[in-house]
Amino acid sequence: MNYQLELEKKLEEIAKLDSKPKLLLHACCGPCSSYVLEYLNCYFDITILYYNPNIYPDTEYVRRRDELKNFLTKFKLKDTIKVMEVPYNPDDYYNAIKGKEKLGEKSSRCYECYKLRLNKSAQYAKEYNYDYFTTTLSISPYKVSAWINEIGSTLEKKYNIKYLYADFKKKNGYKRSLELSAEYGLYRQSYCGCKYSMEARNIQNKKED
């Protein structure tokens, strides 16, 4: 499936509606949110769900969350973006990836991490009567967009809540996020978020020194 094409078709349909549908957008940080919000704000009434128990350590979690909230106060959009935060509980993540800790990036460990965060997003979208849910994760070239959308499709059926298919890195989405990050002076983290990606980053840095 061409997820970008599916998104464009859906946005064409939504543009013809009399009012904006409500979208619950899972977000991991300010930089990844920047382009996605710029792109979708004209079509949806957006609320961000900040649920990222994978982020390590807790100081990094707080930094990314606060950077996102601070960015939203500066970013000029037509409508206000609300943020809903699920309390930080790293055990959610460690339980989800148990037995896969030593697997690398783009492995089944990451798949379980995507599933964990998207499942919570679908649950919240259903509970609070949103029309759609999706995530900013696909903007990253280090994430497997096919897996993200596969999980979204499964959860759409499970919870009877529409999933917005997307591959936000397409059409220079990732490039635009870099531009917005530079424009707003956003903190861009040097690793995905989890303890294991941080360790891999540190090993790579030592090799390059």
Instruction: Say whether pLDDT at 209 is over 70.
Output: no
Q: Which residues contact 49 (CB under 8 A, 6 or more apart)?
A: 24, 25, 26, 27, 84, 85, 86, 120, 121, 124
pLDDT in tens, 120-178: 999 999 999 999 999 999 999 999 999 999 999 999 999 999 999 999 999 999 999 99
pLDDT at 198: 94
Average pLDDT over every residue of 63-79: 94
pLDDT in tens, 178-198: 999 999 999 998 899 999 999
Helical (H) or strand (E) element with 22 = strand 22-26
* Statement: 3-208 belongs to CATH 3.40.50.620: yes
- This prediction has a pTM of 0.96
pLDDT at 202: 87
Q: Which two tokens stand for residue 3?
A: 């997820």
Q: What CA–CA distance (Å, rounded) separates 7 from 138?
A: 13
In eight-state DSSP terms, residue 139 is: G
Instruction: Say whether pLDDT at 25 is over 70.
Output: yes
